[in-house]
Amino acid sequence: MRAKIIVRSVLLVVAGAALGGLLVTRISPLQRTQAAGPAAAATGAIDLVALKADVDRLKEIVPSQSHAMTDVGYQFANLWFAADKKNWPLATFYFNETRSHIRWTIRIRPVRKNLAGGPVELKGIFDGIENGVMNSLKESIEKKDHGQFVTSYRQMVEACYACHKASDKPFLRPMIPLTESQSIINPDPNASWPE
């Protein structure tokens, strides 16, 4: 388990570095057009071949949806343990990270195909979850209401599973985490540092 976390972390860092390097070192299509000379710049022409090459390169380095969902699982599991320790600021952090990473997952692949080949609109599914049970989960954290948190968290797990089933992935069964993942973040709000 620890090796998986380390490998996943290294892959995230490498992908981030590659994407950052690409963005920093590549010249935008508009800048290329301006460098091509006053005639091209005056017409606003864009080098479509270079633009296509940039898009193709970016597609090659975008992580898979399953990679992003692994990150969602990590954030969401940590949320459980932060709230269990009643560390509400940390719970707020993990809640926001969970929501942010779900949105990232949807941006990576907004529409999945079910086994019949039909579209599964993930944004529509998540909009319902976000406006419903996720609001309740957020409210429980803001109120520091552990009982409401447990109920809302369980409902969120059920909503996640409903999305997995809608995507014809019923074998992806989320659950209430049993043990904390190995993390360098201490969820105990009364912990001293360094330990």
Highest-confidence segment of 64-68, 81-85, 105-109: 81-85
Q: Are 75 and 102 in contact (CB under 8 A)?
A: no
CATH at residue 121: 1.20.120.290
- Cα–Cα distance, 4 to 10 (Å, whole number): 10
What integer is the mean pLDDT of 54-79? Answer: 89
**Residue 194 confidence (pLDDT) above 80:** no
193 in any annotated domain: no
* Whether 93 and 50 share a structural domain: no
- Cα–Cα distance, 33 to 42 (Å, whole number): 9
**Residue 17 confidence (pLDDT) above 70:** no
Lowest mean pLDDT among 57-71, 85-99, 106-120: 57-71
Structural domain that includes position 52: 2-61
* Whether 96 and 29 share a structural domain: no
Mean pLDDT of the chain: 82
* Whether 69 and 161 share a structural domain: yes
> Based on the structure, what is the number of domains in the chain?
2
Query: Can you say whether the dihedral through the CA atoms of 65, 126, 23, 55 is positive or negative?
Result: positive
- Residue owning tokens 């949320």: 79
* Whether 114 and 135 share a structural domain: yes
* Whether 86 and 123 share a structural domain: yes
Burial 38-73 (b: 16+ CB within 10 A, else e): eeeeeeeeebeeeeeebeeeeeeeebebeebbbbbb
How does residue 6 score in pLDDT terms, banded at 50, 70 and 90? low
* Whether 53 and 86 share a structural domain: no
Indicate yes or no: pTM above 0.75: no
121 φ, ψ (degrees, to nearest 5): -80, 100
DSSP 8-state secondary structure symbol assigned to residue 112: E
190 in any annotated domain: no
**pLDDT on residue 195:** 57
